[in-house]
Amino acid sequence: MVRAAQSVYALPSSMVEHVQQVKPAELDALYAQHHVTWQGKNYPLFYLPRVLGDEQAEVVSQPHNPVLLLRSGEQRIALHVDGLLGNQEVVVKNIGPQLARLPGIAGATVSTSGEVILIINPVAFTQRIAVVRKIAKPAAISEIVHRKSLVMVVDDSLTVRKITTRLLERSGYQVVTAKDGVDALEQLMEITPDVMLLDIEMPRMDGFEVAKRLRQDSKTQSLPIIMITSRTADKHRNYALELGVNEYLGKPYQEEELLGHIARFVSRSPA
C-alpha cells in the first residue's frame, strides 16, 4: 500500500524490485537526472500523483522520501510516493467493465474501514504517458535551433546546472550558469542571453524577485523566461505569469518539452 497526496493505492508486490528511502538533497539530484540507477539499470523517475493525472501536484519532500523501483515485463520505472503503508494481503474485487478497460487499473479492494482502494499498475500508466508525449513531440526541433544562441541556467543546485548544461550543449546551445538570483543579475550586466531558465527557491534572491527585476529593466524586459521549479501549485504558476514569466515547468522537466520551448523562443530572436 502506498499514499499519493491524501489517497491510498495498492500495488502488486510482485512488481516491487527494491525500495529506497531518499534524503531531500538526493531526491533533488534524482529528479534533475530523471532516473534512478540500481544494479546497473536505469529506472525513469516518476511522481505518483502526477502519474495519476495531477500534473500540477507539488513534489512533497520529507526527511526520508520513499522511492519504489518497479518492473512489469521488460519495463522498469522508479516511483516516488508520499508514503509507504506496508504490505497487506487483500481480496481483489470486481471493478466493472468501464474501469477494467482503463490501462493501469488492475482491480480494487476494500480496506478494514470500508474504503475502496484501487489496485494500480504504475508502469502501465507511464507507458501511456510516453505514447502521448511521443505523439506530441515537437517536430524537427534541430532544424530551428539557432546554433549560437545563449541560454542562462539559474539554479542553486549544482547538479541541476550540470545536467541542464549538458542537455543544452548537446542540442547546440551555448550555456552560462548562475548559482542564484544575485549571481544572475551580476552576469546580465555583461551578457544578454537569448533565453533564461529560472528556478524559484534560491539563496540571496529567489526566482520571483529576479523575474520582477528583469521585467522592470528595459534591457531585459523582453528576455524569454522559462521558470523550472518543484512549486507547481496554481498560485505559484499564476504569480509567475503575472510577473511576466513566459513558460512555467515543473521539476522534473521533460527534455523535449523544454527544448521545444527554447527553440520556439530562439526562432523569434533576431539572428
**May I ask the CATH architecture of the domain 141-268?**
3-Layer(aba) Sandwich (3.40)
Which of 180, 141, 84 is closest to 258 using CA atoms? 141
pLDDT recorded at residue 96: 60
- Mean pLDDT of the region 221-249: 93
- The answer to whether residue 143 scores a pLDDT higher than 50 is no
Integer Cα distance of 229 and 143 in angstroms: 28
Domain boundaries, the chain: 2-135, 141-268
Contact criterion met (CB below 8 Å) for 84 and 64: no
Integer Cα distance of 140 and 52 in angstroms: 30
pLDDT recorded at residue 100: 56
Whole-angstrom CA distances from 124 to 11, 52, 128 are 12, 11, 6
Integer Cα distance of 2 and 9 in angstroms: 5
Which H helix or E strand runs over 258? helix 255-268
% of the chain beyond a pLDDT of 70: 86
Integer Cα distance of 40 and 255 in angstroms: 23
Integer Cα distance of 14 and 2 in angstroms: 15
Give the β-pairing of 16-22 and 35-38: unpaired
**May I ask the CATH architecture of the domain 2-135?**
Beta Barrel (2.40)
pLDDT recorded at residue 239: 95
- The answer to whether residue 86 scores a pLDDT higher than 60 is yes
Lowest-pLDDT choice from 89-103, 132-146, 171-185: 132-146
Query: pLDDT-based confidence at 145, cuts 50/70/90?
Result: very low
pTM exceeding 0.75: no
Is 2-135's fold the same as 141-268's? no
- The answer to whether residue 80 scores a pLDDT higher than 50 is yes
Which H helix or E strand runs over 268? helix 255-268
Contact criterion met (CB below 8 Å) for 128 and 103: yes
